[in-house]
Structure 1
Amino acid sequence: MRKWFIVFCVVTIPVASFLIYLHPLWSLWLIILLPSWLVGIYDLTQTKHTIKKNYPLFGRLRYVMEELRPKIYQYFVESDTDGTPINRINRSVVYQRAKRVLRTKPFGTQVNVYEPGYEWINHSMYPLSEHEVPLENLRVEIGSKHCSKKYNASILNISAMSYGSLSGNAVEALNKGASLGGFAQNTGEGSISDFHLKHEGHIIWQIGTGYFGARDHDGNFSEEKYIENATRESVKMIEIKLSQGAKPGHGGILPAKKNTPEIARIRGVKPFVAVISPPGHTEFHNSDGLIDFIQKLRDLSGGKPIGIKLCFGKLHEFEELCIRMKERDNYPDYIVIDGGEGGTGAAPLEFSDSLGTPMTEGLVLACDTLKKYGLRDQIKVLVSGKIITGFHMVRAISLGADACYSARAMMLALGCIQALICNTNKCPAGIATQDKSLSWGLDVENKGVRINNFHQETINSVREILGSAGVDHPNKLKRSDIFRRISPTKVKNLGEIYPFDIK
């Protein structure tokens, strides 16, 4: 659209000049054309709004509709990117925090507190002040007794999103935000790019079934390639991806349009072909093989924390893994539970909608099973799956998580407008695309600051919620602290709904 605005200017300016030359009355057209030229030129040069920069003049229509929408749909429920009904307020929370505008809202609660599913945490009669909930309490040390280079992580970090799925500018902006705020960015399985390293933000390097960044020409795991990336100073933790909530049991998908020569070089594949990772790992096929691979990666990295990421599947398989970890006294430093409701840029319909345990149930099963076998104290648990607000984090931590990942909220903070064309390479916000004419509009400096703003404001929200509940540390939260309406006249706390009953 940018080129069409330039064509518009190139054509209309000489035509208008010629018409004015013919007759002075034609100068009246300048009343229409001149403001259009000036507004379009301003849009091209500003850095705050990607849509305006990519679509000068015409992109403003989107913001007109944005202003109208709250007034028209204020009491309606919209649909999230995967079709799950959510309240639109969650999106506005991200925008407001990223832009550091008003933190309050008018006219009180705008959700139906008597609708089944509504959740809340009760406050204390003796709340704590902000200073009584130290910021250092909102960080967690990750690393078991087998780990020599433990990592002090924020309780909120950027979830796995690969360079390839996201544009270089988007990845770089996320990394800048992580650098500014002292939290971590997960690379996704697409390996480590220059964009992940430019601002020296902390990196969690994810290794999937394709072993991108740690593979030889035949696609097998390469110790040499692995050491090259694992020993980078920016890499603080390494994560083995077993499965992903949005498409569990299915390999990652990179459409051919997005597989540029640069991405192909980073991943060690051929360019301009669809890259579909295998569903499972070739380096191991059972619990003992996984434990051996974890220790191998830990040793080769120089003792950095090694984790595994999975969408919770069959309970007996996870129990078998826990039994072998207990017997061998060896285990990952952390486990990430990804909910079946997690998002992705591309996945088969049935996998997105009908496979994988939802986050809440998966988190409860994982924590309770680890506790049953006496492993919970050594293994930290992270969680991902529509974590957007401070309350979402408090709820996840009360269920057993030590820290959270967020992808959806971070994308919204980047300027995602949920156009729902992530898999087409035509993202108008310049985020989920490799089209440089679109990613050009995403200003790294501005969006990096917005990512940091969102993180900081959300952490502050968690801090305020804890204080209101009279709790000075997240690890003091219990399942019984969160309440859920079961019916219009019945309420249960999460401790009653999810009791420790693993036998």
Structure 2
Amino acid sequence: MNNILEFLSSISWWQWVIFAILVIAIKDVFFNKTHTIKHNFPVVGHFRYILESIGPELRQYIVANNREELPFNRIERGWIYASAKNENNYEGFGTDQDIFQNNYIFVKNAMMPYKLPENHINKEDPYFLPCAKVMGLHHKRKKPFRPASIINVSAMSFGSLSAKAISSLNEGVKKAYAYHNTGEGGLSPYHKHGGDIIFQIGTGYFGVRDENGKFSVDHLVKLVEENPCIRAIEVKLSQGAKPGKGGVLPGSKITKEIAEIRKVPLGKDVVSPPYHTAFEGNQGLIDFIEEIANKTGLPVGVKAAIGKLEGWENIAKLMKEQDKGPDFITVDGGEGGTGAAPPSFADHVSVPWVYAFRNIYKIFKRNDLADKIVFIGSGKLGFPSKAAMAFAMGVDCINVAREAMLSVGCIQAKSCHTNTCPTGVATQSKWLQAGINVKDKSERVNYYFKNFRKELLEVTHSSGYEHPCQFTMDDVDINLSDQDFTKTLAASYAYNKIKVPFEGVSSLQNCEYLGGNYNKQASKKSFDKEDVRY
């Protein structure tokens, strides 16, 4: 034994290194059955896989320039981070954008910007920017709802996002008077920090399903009665990340808490079908919406990514004939979103938001329904210039998902589907979540929303308007080629949005349907120049 120890101690470190290399080489050549590179280039071949594993990080922080990355480039992420931290979000020395590229947008400024009157109601809250329309008013729902913010949190479920991320978002929207869409994963305790809620019903009916997995209107009514924070209900037909595709929640991911919230068995795989089982066809959808609205008293809408238009033409026809149907429509872009999806779906199924919204809005305008519906845009619209374009096209509210995640601390690591999100935002790992300070992150969500509304208001005033709902299709130009073919949105997309009834922001403040607890909270707060970065 002593001889062995003496022999081992006599071996120098470089001899140990050579021995380790020989062991790896022998393993690569004689025992490796899966990697050709490692077999053909023993030891050295390992560096190929190491570099491949850190390739995304190298490109994100070293190789790609400020405007190259997708889905959000460094400039866009930097603006969200600075806005969320209430830091300087300006840029100097002019734009580094290629302003002659196709689909580049130009918002037209007025010769004389809009001037706020001396007695403007926004002296209390200068960034008060509610929706100009009221959900459910046309169909005479018992509890109509006017969102108190035109920018809100899109559908992201507890389960896909962590408990601390959901808590941060909900506390943030409470401070910003916005609403928070639950996603299809049900209403969790982390959604109940005071923010307005839009409860989403997906094909799995999580949170409102019976013991057989079928939709239960009684469960939904009870949920609404017990949670007055729920202000509207959204029926998800499809989403941009994977339209028309169902999903599987593996049993290994279903904790006791998630099982109770979603009303699913503990430890068993749960399948979300690509279609709804609670209704069939367009008439069935309308009847389903009316049943929910009648029994809960809440406005009910639908969310969908857009592809074929025949079904939408038919549902608009039925709505016009019967004066029934959704109170709001959330149009999702086919660019993909927070949901994990096969590349073929995320990259190719359904059309991008700008075409999707154009197609849907034209159908409902043609059927004289555009003034009766609240249109919500969802698809990388979480920036003031893109929001201005969206309002010019006819949206009434904007939902943000990934932008809201960035404000909580997401670094676009693109590992949402692996449960290894390094920032704790999109993972159920308790260790990774531990780094999220809910109080701090909720304030960042609040400031992102406030700075967004502030800048959008400034763009709106620059164009001569008081509220973004006043933008028209002629207020925004879009490049159609690299020659002199820049046209207005109206000329490019062949329609004009309807005129939204609007009598001034001050007329919206005292609306009895206004959400966000605005009237209860605004009087308790004071705003000064330091509250939002100038």
Q: Do they fold alike, i.e. is TM over 0.5?
A: yes
Moved more, 166-175 or 227-236: 227-236
Shift of 1:412: 0.2
In the alignment, what sits opposite 1:165?
Answer: 160
What does the per-residue CA deviation read over 1:14-57, in whole Å, with 9 as the maximum and x for residues that have no partner? xxxxxxxxxxxxxxxxxxxxxxxxxxxxxxxxxxxxxxxxxxxx
Cα 1:115–1:186, aligned 2, differ >3 Å: closer, same or farther? same
Match status 1:327 vs 2:283: no
Structure 1 CA distance for aligned equivalents of residues 303 and 420 of structure 2: 29
Equivalent pair of 1:337/1:383 in contact (CA under 8 Å) = yes
Residue pair 2:490, 2:496 contacting (<8 A) in 1 also: no
Deviation of 1:78 after TM superposition, in Å, equals: 2.6
**Match in the other structure for 2:26:** none
Give me the whole-angstrom Cα distance separating, in 2, the residues matched to 1:89 and 1:76.
Answer: 6
Single out whichever of 90-99 and 471-480 deviates more from structure 2: 471-480
Count residues in correspondence: 430
The match for 1:215 among 190, 209, 218 is 209
Q: Look up the equivalent residue of 1:101 and give its one-letter code.
A: E
Q: Greater CA radius of gyration, 1 or 2?
A: 2
How many Å apart are 1:357 and its aligned residue? Answer: 1.8
Provide the C-alpha distance between the structure 2 equivalents of 1:426 and 1:105, rounded to a whole number of angstroms: 33
TM-superposed CA distance for 1:328, in Å, is 1.1
Amino acid at match of 2:373: I
Q: Where does the alignment leave 5 or more consecutive residues of structure 2 unmatched?
A: 1-53, 498-534
Contact 2:199 2:233 in 1 (8 A): yes
User: Which residue of structure 2 lines up, in the alignment, with residue 400 of structure 1?
Assistant: 394
Q: Distance in 1 between matches of 2:450 and 2:431?
A: 31
2:89 aligned partner, one-letter code: R
SS across alignment from 2:106: strand
- Pairing of 1:354-393 with structure 2 (within 5 A): 354-393=348-387
Where does 1:393-472 land on structure 2 (aligned, <5 Å)?
393-472=387-466
Q: CA separation of 1:255/1:493 partners in 2, compared to 1, >3 Å: closer, same or farther?
A: farther
Q: Per-residue displacement from partner, 1:74-112 (whole Å, max 9, x unpaired)?
A: 95433224xxxx542111110000001103112211111
Residue from 100, 106, 113 that aligns with 2:99:
113
3-state SS of paired residue (1:336): strand
For the residue of structure 1 that corresponds to 2:91, the secondary structure is coil
1:497 aligns with 2:489: no
Give, in angstroms, the shift of residue 217 of structure 1. 1.0
Change in CA separation of 1:103 and 1:76 when aligned onto 2, cut-off 3 Å: closer
* CA contact 1:133–1:473 (8 Å) conserved in 2: no
Task: Tell me the amino acid that sits aligned with residue 67 of structure 2.
Answer: V
Q: Equivalent residue for 2:282? A: 287
Whole-angstrom CA distance in 2 between matches of 1:345 and 1:319: 28
Mapped to 2, the partners of 1:494 and 1:275 lie a distance apart of: 44
Secondary structure of 1:139 counterpart: coil
Written as runs of structure 1 = structure 2, the 5 A alignment for 1:224-235 is 224-231=218-225, 232-235=227-230
Separation (CA, whole Å) in 2 of partners of 1:254 and 1:481:
45
Return the alpha-carbon distance in structure 1 between the equivalents of residues 481 and 359 of structure 2: 24
Does residue 296 of the first structure (1) align with residue 291 of the second (2)? yes
After TM superposition, the score normalised by the length of structure 1 is 0.81
Tell me, yes or no, if structure 1 residue 139 matches structure 2 residue 134.
Answer: no
- Aligned partner letter, 1:126: M
In the other structure, the counterpart of 2:518 is none
| Aligned position for 1:80 | 70
Conserved? CA contact 2:410–2:423, under 8 Å: yes
Displaced runs of 4 or more, over 4 A: 72-76, 130-137
What are the equivalent positions in structure 2 for 1:29-108 lying under 5 Å apart? 69=61, 75-81=65-71, 87-108=73-94
1:133 touches 1:467 (CA, 8 Å); kept in 2?
A: no
Are residues 239 and 250 of structure 1, via their aligned partners in 2, closer, same or farther at CA, if it must alter by over 3 Å? Answer: same
Structure-2 change in CA distance of 1:128 and 1:189 (3 Å): same
2 CA distance for matches of 1:181 and 1:150?
Answer: 20
TM-score with structure 2 setting the length: 0.77
**RMSD (CA atoms):** 2.2
Equivalence for 1:247 = 242
Retained in 1: the 8 A contact 2:389–2:476?
yes
* Counterparts of 2:303 and 2:451, CA distance in 1: 27
Distance 1:376 1:133, change over 3 A: farther
Aligned to 2:188: 193
Find the residue that maps to 2:479 and give its secondary structure: strand
Q: 2-side partners of 1:256 and 1:410: how far apart?
A: 28
Q: How far did residue 273 of structure 1 move?
A: 4.2
CA contact (8 A) 1:203 1:237 kept: yes
Paired amino acid for 2:88: L
C-alpha change, 1:390 and 1:343, in structure 2 (3 Å) is same
Tell me by how many angstroms 1:236 deviates: 0.6
Question: Residues 455 and 241 from structure 1, CA distance in 2 versus in 1: closer, same or farther, beyond 3 angstroms?
Answer: same
| Cα 1:353/1:384, change in 2 over 3 Å | same
Q: Distance in 2 between matches of 1:91 and 1:133?
A: 33
Letter in 2 for 1:77: R
- Identity percentage over the alignment? 39
Cα displacement (A) at 1:73: 6.6
Name the CA shift for 1:326/1:470 in 2 (closer, same or farther; >3 Å).
same
